[in-house]
Amino acid sequence: DTGVSQDPRHKITKRGQNVTFRCDPISEHNRLYWYRQTLGQGPEFLTYFQNEAQLEKSRLLSDRFSAERPKGSFSTLEIQRTEQGDSAMYLCASSPGTAYSYEQYFGPGTRLTVT
């Protein structure tokens, strides 16, 4: 069990560019969450997958954001036409569906800076 991994760890991009982040959950965790955290604030929920199905999306997730989890394994989060307000830490978490605790395990995050 190597934990949740995210790639890249840091991304600097110019406004208007598209970016894609990847999250590899803990093996056999069927629940996967994306959160966003800006400096000095708590995380905010973005979207949730159970296996390959995207079951919930926050209103924060504008049309420029899209997430996938093909085959129920890794997940990607794409932001199109980035804006400076998208600068944040993007956190991925996974959780085992069979454990009563539903505890979420977080990855190291991807820090996005839009210039």
Binding site for another protein (CB under 8 A): 31, 33, 35, 40-45, 48, 50, 55-56, 91, 93, 95, 100-109
DSSP conformational letter for 52: T
Which position has the token pair 């991994």? 5
CA distance 53 to 12: 30
| 7 versus 80: smaller Cβ distance to another protein | 7
| 90 versus 114: smaller Cβ distance to another protein | 90
Q: Which residues contact 109 (CB under 8 A, 6 or more apart)?
A: 6, 9, 37, 89, 90, 91, 92
| 79 versus 91: smaller Cβ distance to another protein | 91
Q: How many CA atoms lie within 13 Å of 89's alpha carbon, on the beta-carbon side? A: 15
CA distance 81 to 103: 34
| 58 versus 80: smaller Cβ distance to another protein | 58
CA distance 5 to 109: 8
